[in-house]
Structure 1
Amino acid sequence: MEHHHPTPVGAPDDPSGVLDHVAATSDLIVPLANGEPTAVLDAIESAIADDPARLGPVRAHQMHALHDRPYLAGELGDRMRHVSYFLSHVTRPHFASGGLDLVPAHFSEVFDLMRGRTDDPLVVAAATPPDRHGYFSLGVSADYTASFIGRARFFLEVTDAMPRTFGRNQVHVSQVVGWCRSDRPLVEVPPAAPGPTDRAIAALVAERIPDGATIQTGIGAIPNAIMADLADHRDLGIHTELLSDGVVDLLESGVVNGVRKRLNRTKTVGTFALGTDRLHRFLHENTAIELHAVRYVNDPRIIANEDDFVSINATLSVDLLGQCASETIAGRYHSSSGGQNDFARGAMYSDGGQGFVVLHSTTSGGATRIVPQLAPGDVATTPKNTVDKVVTEHGVAELRGRSIRERTRALIAIADPAHRDELERDARRIGYL
């Protein structure tokens, strides 16, 4: 039997083919992290720099950029400007210096916000080569980008380093206005090595996670330590925005199999992946993993359908009411909301759900992270009424349904012992005790 292999037609030889599709007043949608098509953005950026009258003004909408670029610093002025929905280590200094704009947003709502802010946007994204059926995969991304499939023009940058993933992130050749090839590697983000404090926090969380639970966790030393601590659990499921190296061990060992999930049973679900080459190799053509659009993955109404849902998120400081400031440090913007509030609410509505907020009790300089009141300018990412359990290396403060006095006592009890007396004095002065 002869198999027909459709070949995509009209693939431009180089990324400058995108310039024909960047309209006079165009909005670009760029996936986050490794979904960014670097050669395509290079071509757009250099075309605007070489001939400012040729294109623009262009606005590029993106979360969490990994590649530094002149336009991020505002060097192209209004001809090309970055609109961020979550700051990274790359974009943070440029935001502070006024080079780019930041839109506060829950990750679950970023697609709707982008759609509302743009008119006929062009999606530029990295992708796998097309398969024999003519489908590209967006690889490590679904995020807000996948929701634009069939709703916007796409120009893809194909790279062999991109793992082919499944779910809701396939684009057919008939749905793209053009594509090119590049040989760029993916940026690797090695997992942070947990220290003793991280492991102490992880043990407190892991022992409260029941077998059969569905888990959401982020990136960083504490989440990595928690995943390592789940090795003796059974029948766990994963429904998370971020797939990181920590999930590989749990899937390979069979601890995560998704058999008790109500949605996408037996599948591990995420909306984007960020990690090392090991993770990328694990994701490639792995049918146990599905990437879905963030407007589905992070929707609290979807998350609430899973019983025993466990949300685990890090924060930077917590006040005695339980407000969690996760996106600012000393009143200066550091990141943005991301999906923390999405999952905290989803876990709250889940039957048997638990929401954990994790943090070291002190900064590296010894200052307390459990504070009487948030610093001026600090932003409450997860509000006091939604917060469930706050965990430091000194214990777990259960806040849900607790009075202000009970909350205050519970939080002081998990603060660093050196700061407890002063916190108690401050709490009395404010009127919480």
Structure 2
Amino acid sequence: MKVNSAQEAVAIIESDQSVFVHTAAATPVPLVEAMSERAPELHDVKVYHMHTEGAAAYADEAHHKSFEINSLFLGGNVRKAHSAGRVNFIPCFLSEVPIMIRSGVIPVDVALIQVSPPDKHGYCSLGISIDATKAAVDCAKVIIAQVNPRMPRTHGDGLIHISRLTRYFEATTELPELPPHALTPEEKAIGEHVAQLIDDRATLQMGIGAIPDAVLACLGNHKDLGVHTEMFSDGVIPLMEKGVITNKYKSRHKDVLVSGFMIGSRKLYDFVDDNPMIRMLDIEYVNDTKVIRKIDNMISINSAIEVDLTGQVCADSIGTTMYSGVGGQMDFIRGASLSKGGKPIIALTSTTRRGESKISSVLKPGAGVVTTRAHVQYVATEYGVANLYGKNLRQRAKALTEIAHPDHRESLEKAAFERFK
């Protein structure tokens, strides 16, 4: 049923229902705002989401009794609300979010989504975020959509017939963008170190941000790379245009780039629009370790907040303060480590902006272990790469100290001696 506005579209949301919000740059901001405006007349609406863009007004203090918020990955728009106790965090692997939705562990009465205009057959596209939204759409009793001509139409699992939309309205709004930024010398150095670990014909998984962009920027002389990743950004475009990323030798989905969602600049969104070389698939499949391990020469590149001297990786919190989420790091770390010729890599700058060492003697009290010391293999900073695979704790401490910032190596050596004698 077509309506005239976001306000009319969300008028059918009722108290005590569970609402899933479309992910990342596909967040239907007008629908989120309209739902939040209804706070005075609603109570106990359970909101589930992963990382979203735009203001999350439902998390405002004034709406605390109207919405119970459950985040599976904390973005910057809800971190303060989480710290204040207004947002709950659900730890989980990204690959399991669709499983929890389809099994009813996470109930979805209403899905708020953003789609492309329908084609001549009536099919819209979930566009740049299929991820777990596909599962939410499959299970929702009510689907409320913004039909936006600025949403790219992508190939893969994201098609939905317009007849499935309970209510929709048409509105042209620009999608959130995350354009690349100038790389620092430290980020460039990390990119160079990691690039040396990548062989021709390897398949890559990488996220977004400075370090993945730095790695991609150093791959211009590689040949026939592939991509199978939960998410990607602008850095793949020049490599696909130059013929560096061809996907010709992938063990699965030969000749196409596979992903679950993306966020980047308008150039990226235009690049993927109706591009048959891009396949956007359900994240339950993309991040399935059984799938990833069958891709030969799988290279997984993930970042971290800190790594301790035994190799424990914290990537979701700063001490007891939640920062992001578990995401797909472990899905790909394990999958890549089991892949024939695969390499799981954790890459991070050696220090924080305040000069604190990210290679720490012990993790901060309360810090979450996302990748265990038994799973970690390669750790890279601007000072080099530590290969921890098969190494004992003393050997790990030595290797990690060698890639820490020089200002912190003496204290790390002392801590290692005191701990491991």
AA of the residue aligned to 2:217: A
Q: How much has 1:419 moved relative to structure 2?
A: 1.7
Give distance in 1, aligned partners of 2:15 and 2:211.
Answer: 46
AA of the residue aligned to 2:16: T
SS in 1 for 2:404: coil
Give distance in 2, aligned partners of 1:194 and 1:68.
Answer: 28
AA of the residue aligned to 1:134: G
Give distance in 2, aligned partners of 1:317 and 1:301.
Answer: 28
Q: 1:108 aligns with which of 95, 105, 119?
A: 95
SS in 2 for 1:360: coil
Alignment of 1:137-152 (within 5 A): 137-152=125-140
TM-score, length basis structure 2: 0.96
Q: Does 1:262 align with 2:251?
A: yes
Give distance in 2, aligned partners of 1:20 and 1:364.
Answer: 45
Considering only aligned residues, what root-mean-square deviation do their CA atoms show, in Å?
Answer: 1.5
Q: How much has 1:288 moved relative to structure 2?
A: 0.5
Give distance in 2, aligned partners of 1:193 and 1:400.
Answer: 33
Give distance in 2, aligned partners of 1:423 and 1:212.
Answer: 38
AA of the residue aligned to 2:345: F
AA of the residue aligned to 1:420: R
TM-score, length basis structure 1: 0.93
Q: Can you list the C-alpha shifts for 1:207-227, whole angstroms capped at 9, x where unaligned?
A: 110111000011111111110
What residue in structure 1 maps to residue 60 of structure 2?
Answer: 73
Q: 2:50 aligns with which of 63, 77, 81?
A: 63
Kept in 1, the 8 Å contact 2:33–2:57? The answer is no
What residue in structure 1 maps to residue 114 of structure 2?
Answer: 126
Q: Does 1:26 align with 2:13?
A: no
Q: How much has 1:120 moved relative to structure 2?
A: 4.9
Q: Does 1:38 align with 2:25?
A: no
Where structure 2 has 5 or more consecutive residues not aligned to the other structure, the ranges are none
Q: How much has 1:176 moved relative to structure 2?
A: 2.1
SS in 1 for 2:332: helix
Kept in 2, the 8 Å contact 1:74–1:98? The answer is no
Q: 2:388 aligns with which of 388, 399, 403?
A: 399
Q: Does 1:252 align with 2:241?
A: yes
Kept in 2, the 8 Å contact 1:143–1:271? The answer is yes
Q: How much has 1:20 moved relative to structure 2?
A: 5.2
What residue in structure 1 maps to residue 162 of structure 2?
Answer: 173
What residue in structure 2 maps to residue 382 of structure 1?
Answer: 371
AA of the residue aligned to 2:65: D
**Worse-superposed segment, 127-136 or 82-91:** 82-91
Give distance in 1, aligned partners of 2:39 and 2:383.
Answer: 54
SS in 1 for 2:146: strand
SS in 2 for 1:426: helix
**Worse-superposed segment, 273-282 or 151-160:** 151-160
Q: Can you list the C-alpha shifts for 1:343-402, whole angstroms capped at 9, x where unaligned?
A: 101101111100110111122222211111111011111111110100111111101111
Q: How much has 1:56 moved relative to structure 2?
A: 3.9
Kept in 1, the 8 Å contact 2:348–2:381? The answer is yes
Give distance in 2, aligned partners of 1:243 and 1:119.
Answer: 28
SS in 1 for 2:219: coil
Kept in 1, the 8 Å contact 2:319–2:368? The answer is no
Give distance in 2, aligned partners of 1:82 and 1:249.
Answer: 39
Kept in 2, the 8 Å contact 1:192–1:224? The answer is no
Kept in 2, the 8 Å contact 1:74–1:100? The answer is no
Alignment of 1:147-162 (within 5 A): 147-153=135-141, 154-162=143-151
Where structure 1 has 5 or more consecutive residues not aligned to the other structure, the ranges are 1-9
Give distance in 2, aligned partners of 1:73 and 1:120.
Answer: 22
Q: Tell me the number of residue pairs that the alignment of Structure 1 and Structure 2 aligns.
A: 419
What residue in structure 2 maps to residue 97 of structure 1?
Answer: 84
What residue in structure 1 maps to residue 200 of structure 2?
Answer: 211
Q: 2:346 aligns with which of 333, 357, 367?
A: 357
Q: 1:294 aligns with which of 261, 267, 283?
A: 283
Q: 1:422 aligns with which of 371, 396, 411?
A: 411
Give distance in 2, aligned partners of 1:402 and 1:256.
Answer: 33
AA of the residue aligned to 1:274: I
Kept in 1, the 8 Å contact 2:128–2:154? The answer is yes
Give distance in 1, aligned partners of 2:402 and 2:160.
Answer: 52
Q: How much has 1:81 moved relative to structure 2?
A: 2.7
Q: How much has 1:269 moved relative to structure 2?
A: 0.8
Judged with a 3 Å threshold, the aligned counterparts in structure 2 of structure 1 residues 14 and 366 are, in CA distance, closer, same or farther, namely: closer
What residue in structure 2 maps to residue 315 of structure 1?
Answer: 304
Give distance in 2, aligned partners of 1:62 and 1:24.
Answer: 18
Kept in 1, the 8 Å contact 2:198–2:299? The answer is yes
SS in 1 for 2:190: helix
AA of the residue aligned to 1:93: K
Judged with a 3 Å threshold, the aligned counterparts in structure 2 of structure 1 residues 119 and 418 are, in CA distance, closer, same or farther, namely: closer
Identity %: 35
Give distance in 2, aligned partners of 1:214 and 1:283.
Answer: 19
Give distance in 2, aligned partners of 1:85 and 1:148.
Answer: 14
Kept in 1, the 8 Å contact 2:20–2:108? The answer is no
Give distance in 1, aligned partners of 2:10 and 2:191.
Answer: 49
Give distance in 2, aligned partners of 1:418 and 1:43.
Answer: 51
AA of the residue aligned to 1:136: C
AA of the residue aligned to 1:59: K
AA of the residue aligned to 1:196: P
SS in 2 for 1:265: coil
Kept in 1, the 8 Å contact 2:19–2:111? The answer is yes
Give distance in 1, aligned partners of 2:55 and 2:20.
Answer: 17
Alignment of 1:81-92 (within 5 A): 81-92=68-79
